Chain A
């Protein structure tokens, strides 16, 4: 009985010591300031890891999002208008550059011309609605209604089949491409 308690006690003390050491090491790393939080670029392997983490996180968490509604031309039109208003600044468009200062962001917001070929609709909705930590991508759910956010998804779904001219014309006239 005494021997068993002693073993358990030793394991517990060992676990506490390990956690304590890890916490002390983490504190030392933070306080020393060696981890560079400025936008200086990461090495390629680290960049790949961060990128991969985001992709896998979205794939996993998008299950929270309900089934997409059916999309029609009116949704695409509304989505295009919202996209120009809210998204084009950072994400550009076919033939349309991002604003110049956006190059100062890290991670850099991608052009979304074929985003719909890399992500499922509910994943796009999740990214728009919940944003991306430690990037400049906001969570739009406090600002935009679910209907508006699904409209942007509808537009993104259509975007890979739109020419730059269609995009510009759609933006100018408000008509669907």
Chain B
């Protein structure tokens, strides 16, 4: 049986976790000033789209309810791994090399590469996946 009111609670806002406090809260405070910087990033190859559209898509698809996403107020989920330093990571979900084209494929169908994982296929179009990938690759 569950003891309802006696368990520790992690609130879904930045102060609740140290990672979020150090990476997200300062980011929130300075985000407005740095909007222009979102356009610069590493490998801006043909596979990548618009990072600002990507940021909006991440909010609309509620990705922050499962992932910590830097620069996002509601990106504080810990169901899946944090998306910090996504541009620098070597692998995607431990199953794919982290390149723009692989990231786009992953986003369109995570279940293809990790069947049975908690991350569902969200029906993203290729353009939507490119935009989200563009945003993720601004996270160095």
Contacts and interface: CB of A to CB of B under 8 A. Distances in A.
A45 B4 contact: no
Interface of A: 41, 43-45, 47-48, 51-52, 55, 67-68, 70-72, 92-98, 100, 103-106, 108-114, 117-122, 154, 157-158, 163-165
User: What 6 A-B pairs have minimum CB-CB distances, sorted nearest first?
Assistant: A110-B65, A48-B73, A97-B120, A94-B118, A121-B4, A103-B60
B64 to A, nearest CB: 8
Interface residues of B, number: 40
Contacts of A122: 4-5
Contacts of B120: 92-93, 95-97
Contacts of A119: 9
Contacts, number: 113
User: Which of B5, B9, B12, B56 has the largest count of A CB atoms less than 10 A from its CB?
Assistant: B12
Interface of B: 1-2, 4-5, 9-14, 27-29, 31-32, 56-57, 59-62, 64-66, 71-74, 77-79, 111, 116-123
User: Which of A48, A93, A106, A122 has the largest count of B CB atoms less than 10 A from its CB?
Assistant: A48
29 contacts: A41-B56, A43-B31, A44-B71, A44-B73, A47-B74, A48-B13, A48-B14, A48-B74, A51-B74, A55-B11, A55-B12, A55-B13, A71-B2, A72-B1, A92-B120, A94-B118, A95-B118, A97-B122, A98-B62, A98-B122, A103-B57, A108-B61, A110-B74, A111-B66, A114-B79, A118-B12, A120-B9, A121-B5, A164-B117
